[in-house]
Amino acid sequence: MEPPKKSGPPRRSGPGGPRRPGDFKTGGPNPSGSRPARPPFRKAKTAPAKPANPHPARAAAAASGKNEPQRIAKLLARAGVASRREVERIIEEGRVTLDGEVVTTPATLLISLHGVAVDGVPIAAPAPARLFLFHKPSGFLTTERDPRGRPTIYDKLPADLPRVMPIGRLDMTTEGLLLLTTDGEFKRQMELPSTGVPRTYRARAFGEISQNQLEDLFEGIEIDGIRYGQIEANLERRTGRNQWIEMTLTEGKNREVRRVLEHLGLQVSRLIRTSYGPFHLGELPSGAVEEVRQHDLIVFRKGLKIPKP
pLDDT tens column, 31-85: 445 555 555 555 555 555 554 555 455 555 444 444 678 899 888 988 878 888 8
Residues in Cβ contact with 301 at an 8 Å cutoff, skipping those fewer than 6 apart = 129, 186
What is the average pLDDT score of the chain? 82
Render 152-175 in DSSP notation, one character per residue.
Answer: BGGGTS-TTSPS-EEES---TT-E
Compare 308 and 220 and report the one with higher pLDDT: 220
Confidence of residue 188 (pLDDT cuts 50, 70, 90): confident
Question: What pLDDT, on the 0 to 100 scale, is given for residue 173?
Answer: 95
Residues in Cβ contact with 80 at an 8 Å cutoff, skipping those fewer than 6 apart = 126, 127, 162, 163, 165, 182, 183, 184
Compare 140 and 3 and report the one with higher pLDDT: 140
- For 56-122, which CATH superfamily applies? RNA-binding S4 domain (3.10.290.10)
Residues assigned a catalytic role: 171
Contact 112, 60 (CB under 8 A): no
Confidence of residue 133 (pLDDT cuts 50, 70, 90): very high
The CATH number of the structural domain formed by 198-276 is: 3.30.70.1560
What is the average pLDDT across 199-225?
93
Residues 257-298 have pLDDT tens digits of: 999 999 999 999 999 999 999 999 999 999 999 999 999 999
pLDDT at 28 over 60: no
Common-topology check for domains 56-122 and 198-276: no
pLDDT at 5 over 70: no
Closest of 267, 259, 256 to residue 208, by C-alpha: 267
Domain ranges, ordered by start, for the chain: 56-122, 131-193+281-302, 198-276
Question: What pLDDT, on the 0 to 100 scale, is given for residue 84?
Answer: 84
Question: What pLDDT, on the 0 to 100 scale, is given for residue 185?
Answer: 84
Cα–Cα distances (Å) from 111 to 60, 76, 100, 300, in that order, read 9, 12, 17, 26
Question: What pLDDT, on the 0 to 100 scale, is given for residue 78?
Answer: 80
What is the average pLDDT across 159-163?
91
Considering only 187-191, 210-214, 272-276, which range has the smallest mean pLDDT? 187-191
Task: Find the radius of gyration of the CA atoms of the chain.
Answer: 35
Beta strands in 6-164 (DSSP E): 70-71, 96-98, 101-102, 109-110, 116-118, 121-122, 131-136
| Fold classified for 131-193+281-302 | Alpha-Beta Plaits (3.30.70)
